[in-house]
Structure 1
């Protein structure tokens, strides 16, 4: 990642708001509305783009989508994926 331009400053408003310099926003691809996490570190404040989804694992998600019926075999699933890929290739 390229180094950030030196000498950029900003001011904390009476509401505690800070405007990030355009060069930094563009370098980070932070558009208006980007959610950021704020972390207090020994060297200062660290801003990072917030993840779009909360971290999770397979165990937490297992069974979250209900399905009634006979389970599909791996061969049946492979055939369904291939058929959908073929269908989308025609469209």
Structure 2
């Protein structure tokens, strides 16, 4: 897929509708990979309006997700976990 680049000196224009809506030029949407339905944050800056895509997933930390996947079975010892990791590493090395 060829990437479209809008030059610094190339000025693209759009119009604000009576509802306050604007249409982003297709070259910008394609370059940014913003399909229809992309959610954007709008930030007022000293130089103008800044649009950024909203992250698909909210930011999280290890502490907030630790233990969130269910495990059914007896608790494993550290040695059991090391053995399971070793077996899986060997299996992947063969594949």
Cα drift, residue 75 of structure 1: 2.4
1:37 and 1:48 in contact (8 A); partners too? yes
TM-score where L is the length of structure 1: 0.74
- Find 2:47's aligned residue among 43, 50, 53: 43
Structure 1: runs of 5 or more not aligned: none
Which residue of the partner structure matches residue 75 of structure 2? 70
Contact 1:4 1:24 in 2 (8 A): no
Off by >6 Å, runs of 4+ in structure 1: none
Matched with 1:34 is: 38
Instruction: Output one character per residue of 1:30-71: Cα deviation in whole Å (capped at 9) or x when no partner.
Output: 111112111111111101121111011101111222324222
Farther-moved stretch of structure 1 (50-59 vs 33-42): 33-42
Q: Which runs of 5+ in 2 are unaligned?
A: none
Question: RMSD in angstroms over aligned alpha carbons?
Answer: 2.3
Q: Choose from 31, 53, 59 the match for 2:63.
A: 59
